[in-house]
A and B are shown apart, each in its own frame.
Chain A
Amino acid sequence: MQGLAGAAACSTVLAALPARSSPPASYAPRFFTPAEWAFLVAACDRLIPADENGPGALALDVPRFIDMQMDTPYAHGAQWYMQAPFVPGPDNLGYQLPHAPRDLYRRGIAGMDAHAATRHGRPFAGLAPALQDDLLRGAENGGMTFGDLPSTAFFDQLLANVMEGAFSDPVHGGNTGLGGWIMLGFPGARADFMDWVDRYGAHYPLGSVSISGETA
């Protein structure tokens, strides 16, 4: 029963978090154009929507996280083997495109918006949530290609970064207020369970903490 009581206490904390449907106006994206930013904000809101289980990607500032990541060596493909030739092969042999994450976003967002315009007459961000979900599911299941880019390559990149943004340490620009960790029940950088390792089945009482010392 201790666990249930703990879960209830957590829900109280979640309810106190401000519900937000857009990122703070003060953040000016450095990589994404206004049109791309509109797509990113709308897509993040569908991939992790705010609901009774906790905050959504927008309250967690996931778009800001992704924009900040675009300035890292990772986004330039510096950690991937990018030597030619780029030869297509079976899916199970992995990613074989010449595009680094920055290119995947640029091409992928343009492709998604073009599909939205063709099918529904306006860009993705202007569509009703149900239509946005349909397009995202189409991209996830490989129903589209954007030039040489299969939609799955873009979708997988986006989804991976959205998860990172919601659940990484706030030092990287997402997981605002530690909201992702609180929702999940992850104590973050607490990292000392010497006195809790054999408290079997009990709810851990201390809140999450970030690398910078922010607590919830």
Chain B
Amino acid sequence: MSDDARRLRAVDVVIVGGGWAGSIMAKEMTEAGRSVVMLERGPDRSTAADGAYPASIDELEANFRYKLFQDLSKNTVTIRNNSRQTALPYRRMAAFLPGEGVGGAGLHWSGVHFRIPPDDLRLRTRVIEKYGAKFIPEGMNLQDYGVSYEELEPFFDKAEKVFGTSGEAYMVKGQVVGKGNVFSPSRSDHFPLPALKDVYTAHLFRKAAAEVGFHPYSLPAANASRQYINPYGVQMGPCNFCGYCSGYACYMYSKASPNVNILPVLRRHPLFELRAGCHVMKVELDAEGRRATGVTYTDPDGAVVTQPAEMVILTAFQFHNVRLMLLSGIGRPYDPARNEGVVGRNFVYQNVTTSNVWLDRGIDTNQYIGAGGGGVAFDDFNSENFDHGPLGFVGGSPVWVNQAGVKAIAAAHSGGPPGTPRWGSAWKAGVIDTYRHSLRIDAHGANMAYRDVYLDLDPTWKDAYGQPLLRMTFDWKDNDIRMNRYVVDRIGDVAKAMGARRVNLTKREFGRPFDTRQYQTTHLGGGAVMGTDPGTSALNRYLQSWDVHNVFVIGANAFPQGTGYNPTGMVAALAYWAAHHIRTTYLAHPGPLAG
């Protein structure tokens, strides 16, 4: 198809995907004086148009008709639990909700904005140091990221300032400065904005968690607690806890998004061009397959177009980046039988379960009040903050109340306490009691990487452009189920201290497969991971393809295994980290940044 494609004038950099990673890379490359074309397969979007109050806060359209999300009719994935099964198409949105359109998932995300625990970046090394190599379960592909917290710290700091992140530090420049997360590493600076106020349920959780002996802290939120102007000169308004974050373009301009925080500046830059409605099908390589020459895409009129470029930066959603590498022949595809090859390897998810606590009927929990990134967490059972030795599992889980605003249709679907019918008068009584007087507590755990959990191309189903769908082979593993069950029991301790009238602890069950029908989270990761060994990573520690040096791949695809935290903060920091090394080294001396 590329032979018939219309060929455009070459640019310095082509960026595939208009979300956080793409917008950051485009900003950095234009700052470096490079011409940039950003290709986004979805429509152009802006907060002014897509976040206008009140029409935009329509729960049916936003959360049940998926206005800002991926058009599954054109492109989806197939899923199976193990390689003996036939993978079947993910035909309806449910378990995860990838974005589409300018801003990507960064337009409709919630706003939880974490760094990463330093131990998570060198988890393989750390686990072996503490517990010995035999502690790693058979079949777990535990790896290090190949980059340290100290190296990434300036880029976490930069991202927080661009996002206008609200939070309270624990330690700045080695000095204890506040009531932040006692397990978090030292920072070079405070959060740009103070923490959001606690909603009532978070306030109760904070008090109860401290009583039990845990160490509660305010979730770092890219929801502005005050009016803010970021380093690019764009303005954010103060969050009013409206409760319409996830699935919406924030009408208050309080939730950070590429559309609010970066694109208003980029769109005016003479070196920047955004092309929406352009679906990239392939990265074009030279005859030897060692160098990218550009990309081929379908434009909004259906014409096939080739855009030549000196550099190609893939910044689509995690699994689209992996698929594009497989479709383009960049890197060796993963072979689970031999545990060899790298593209598709170490595909991971987020190990989340949500428990419920009912308080006295005289107390209104006002669950509709919320900020997507706000809340209170404790990290006593996250990362390597606790002794895994006697517990016998790898990984951990922060625990939190992250009341992002529960709305009416979602509440109706959630229903009443376990055992309540799904309809009829008993359902009504249960759902009213639950909505008015209960709260939710999440165990937001890490998912480890396993040899037989991976991504490849599906042999049967195709997208609207005739290309194979990506195939996911995924299931929950014993190690991760045991971790979840241990941490959820700690939620039971906190619920008791809250004076719960009733508690429903939700735990992962042994033998119950991954269920694509129930929403869990869109925190998918891995599949084209970073590292220092080309035998186990598709990208070097600068997120550069080991095989095709002028291709960089930025996203949660780079995580060698899951962490307990939400991915966006880490993705943004990795984007700035990669951009820094492209600007300071690669542009002057194009070639492999790691040998």
Chain A residues within an 8 Å CB radius of B93: 79
Closest to B412 in A: A163
Using a CB–CB cutoff of 8 Å, the interface residues on chain A facing chain B are: 1, 3-4, 6-7, 46-49, 51, 53-54, 72, 74, 77-83, 85, 87, 89-96, 133, 136, 140, 159-160, 162-164, 166-169, 171-172, 180-181, 183-189, 191-194, 196-204, 211
Q: Are A196 and B423 in contact (CB under 8 A)?
A: no
Q: Are A51 and B425 in contact (CB under 8 A)?
A: yes
Contact status of A185 and B432, CB under 8 A, knowing A164-B60, A202-B364, A211-B57: yes
CB distance from A1 to the nearest CB of B (A): 6
Q: Is B88 an interface residue (CB 8 A)?
A: yes
**How many B residues, CB 8 Å from partner?**
71
Q: Is B158 an interface residue (CB 8 A)?
A: no
**Which parts of B214-244 form the interface with A (CB within 8 Å)?**
238, 240-244
**Which parts of B489-537 form the interface with A (CB within 8 Å)?**
513-517
Q: Are A92 and B516 in contact (CB under 8 A)?
A: yes
Closest to B463 in A: A83
Q: Are A198 and B429 in contact (CB under 8 A)?
A: no
Q: Are A211 and B58 in contact (CB under 8 A)?
A: yes
A-B Cβ contacts below 8 A, count: 192
Chain B residues within an 8 Å CB radius of A47: 423-424
Chain A residues within an 8 Å CB radius of B413: 160, 163
Q: Are B198 and A198 in contact (CB under 8 A)?
A: yes
Show 5 residue pairs from A and B whose CB-CB distance is below 8 angstroms, ordered by the A residue.
A46-B423, A53-B429, A54-B428, A184-B431, A193-B369
Chain B residues within an 8 Å CB radius of A200: 200, 203
CB distance from A208 to the nearest CB of B (A): 9
Q: Are A87 and B88 in contact (CB under 8 A)?
A: yes
Q: Is B422 an interface residue (CB 8 A)?
A: yes
CB distance from A200 to the nearest CB of B (A): 4
Q: How far does the alpha carbon of A164 sit from the alpha carbon of B243 in the complex, in Å?
A: 18
CB distance from B388 to the nearest CB of A (A): 30
Q: Are B460 and A85 in contact (CB under 8 A)?
A: yes
Instruction: Name the one of B60, B71, B412 contacting A79, with C-beta atoms under 8 angstroms.
Output: B71
Q: Is B584 an interface residue (CB 8 A)?
A: no
Instruction: Name the one of A53, A90, A168, A187 contacting B60, with C-beta atoms under 8 angstroms.
Output: A168
CB distance from A49 to the nearest CB of B (A): 6
Known: A133-B424, A193-B240. 11 other contacts (CB 8 A): A49-B424, A79-B73, A80-B92, A90-B85, A93-B85, A93-B516, A96-B91, A186-B407, A191-B243, A200-B200, A211-B55
Q: Are A172 and B60 in contact (CB under 8 A)?
A: yes
Chain A residues within an 8 Å CB radius of B90: 81, 94
Q: Are B244 and A191 in contact (CB under 8 A)?
A: yes
Q: Interface code B49-80, partner A: CB below 8 Å = 1, 0 otherwise?
A: 00001110111100011100001110010011
Q: Interface code B424-449, partner A: CB below 8 Å = 1, 0 otherwise?
A: 11001101100110000000000000
Q: Are A204 and B366 in contact (CB under 8 A)?
A: yes
Instruction: Name the one of A53, A89, A94, A191 contacting B94, with C-beta atoms under 8 angstroms.
Output: A94
Closest to A204 in B: B366
Q: Interface code B262-301, partner A: CB below 8 Å = 1, 0 otherwise?
A: 0000000000000000000000000000000000000000
Q: Is B587 an interface residue (CB 8 A)?
A: no
Q: Are B431 and A193 in contact (CB under 8 A)?
A: no
Q: Are A83 and B461 in contact (CB under 8 A)?
A: yes
Q: Are B91 and A94 in contact (CB under 8 A)?
A: yes
Q: Is B411 an interface residue (CB 8 A)?
A: yes
Chain B contact surface mostly: loop
Closest to B515 in A: A92
Q: Is B32 an interface residue (CB 8 A)?
A: no
Q: How far does the alpha carbon of A123 sit from the alpha carbon of B515 in the complex, in Å?
A: 35
Q: Are B59 and A168 in contact (CB under 8 A)?
A: yes
CB distance from A6 to the nearest CB of B (A): 7
Q: Are B242 and A96 in contact (CB under 8 A)?
A: no
Q: Are A48 and B428 in contact (CB under 8 A)?
A: yes
CB distance from A211 to the nearest CB of B (A): 5
Q: How far does the alpha carbon of A168 sit from the alpha carbon of B59 in the complex, in Å?
A: 7
Q: Are A82 and B91 in contact (CB under 8 A)?
A: yes
Chain B residues within an 8 Å CB radius of A93: 79-81, 85, 87-88, 516
Q: Are A95 and B92 in contact (CB under 8 A)?
A: yes
- Residue of A4, A53, A82, A83 with highest tally of chain B CB at under 10 A: A83
Instruction: Name the one of A6, A49, A54 contacting B364, with C-beta atoms under 8 angstroms.
Output: A6
Q: Is B368 an interface residue (CB 8 A)?
A: yes
Closest to A203 in B: B364
Q: Interface code B337-362, partner A: CB below 8 Å = 1, 0 otherwise?
A: 00000000000000000000000011
Contact status of A79 and B423, CB under 8 A, knowing A92-B514, A185-B364, A193-B240: no
Chain A residues within an 8 Å CB radius of B423: 46-48, 136, 159, 162
Q: Are A191 and B57 in contact (CB under 8 A)?
A: yes
Instruction: Name the one of B53, B79, B436 contacting A185, with C-beta atoms under 8 angstroms.
Output: B436
Q: Is B86 an interface residue (CB 8 A)?
A: yes
Contact status of A3 and B362, CB under 8 A, knowing A93-B88, A169-B59: yes
Chain B residues within an 8 Å CB radius of A189: 54, 57
Q: Is B199 an interface residue (CB 8 A)?
A: yes
Q: Are B55 and A92 in contact (CB under 8 A)?
A: no
Q: Are B517 and A92 in contact (CB under 8 A)?
A: yes
Q: Is B569 an interface residue (CB 8 A)?
A: no
CB distance from A148 to the nearest CB of B (A): 16
Q: Interface code B189-225, partner A: CB below 8 Å = 1, 0 otherwise?
A: 0000000011110010000000000000000000000
Q: How far does the alpha carbon of A192 sit from the alpha carbon of B244 in the complex, in Å?
A: 10
CB distance from A189 to the nearest CB of B (A): 5
CB distance from A150 to the nearest CB of B (A): 14
Closest 6 CB pairs of A and B: A167-B408, A191-B242, A168-B60, A163-B412, A194-B240, A186-B408
Q: How far does the alpha carbon of A3 sit from the alpha carbon of B436 in the complex, in Å?
A: 10
Instruction: Name the one of A87, A91, A180 contacting B86, with C-beta atoms under 8 angstroms.
Output: A87
CB distance from A71 to the nearest CB of B (A): 13
Closest to A198 in B: B197
Q: Is B126 an interface residue (CB 8 A)?
A: no
Q: Is B409 an interface residue (CB 8 A)?
A: yes
Q: Are B91 and A197 in contact (CB under 8 A)?
A: no
Q: How far does the alpha carbon of A134 sit from the alpha carbon of B514 in the complex, in Å?
A: 31
CB distance from A67 to the nearest CB of B (A): 15
Instruction: Name the one of A6, A7, A92, A193 contacting B242, with C-beta atoms under 8 angstroms.
Output: A193
Chain B residues within an 8 Å CB radius of A78: 73
Q: Are A187 and B368 in contact (CB under 8 A)?
A: yes
Chain B residues within an 8 Å CB radius of A191: 53-54, 57, 240, 242-244, 251
Instruction: Name the one of A7, A168, A197 contacting B241, with C-beta atoms under 8 angstroms.
Output: A197
Q: Are A82 and B408 in contact (CB under 8 A)?
A: no
Q: Are A164 and B242 in contact (CB under 8 A)?
A: no
Instruction: Name the one of A77, A90, A140, A192 contacting B240, with C-beta atoms under 8 angstroms.
Output: A192
Q: How far does the alpha carbon of A188 sit from the alpha carbon of B203 in the complex, in Å?
A: 24
Q: Are B72 and A81 in contact (CB under 8 A)?
A: yes
Closest to A196 in B: B369
CB distance from A79 to the nearest CB of B (A): 6
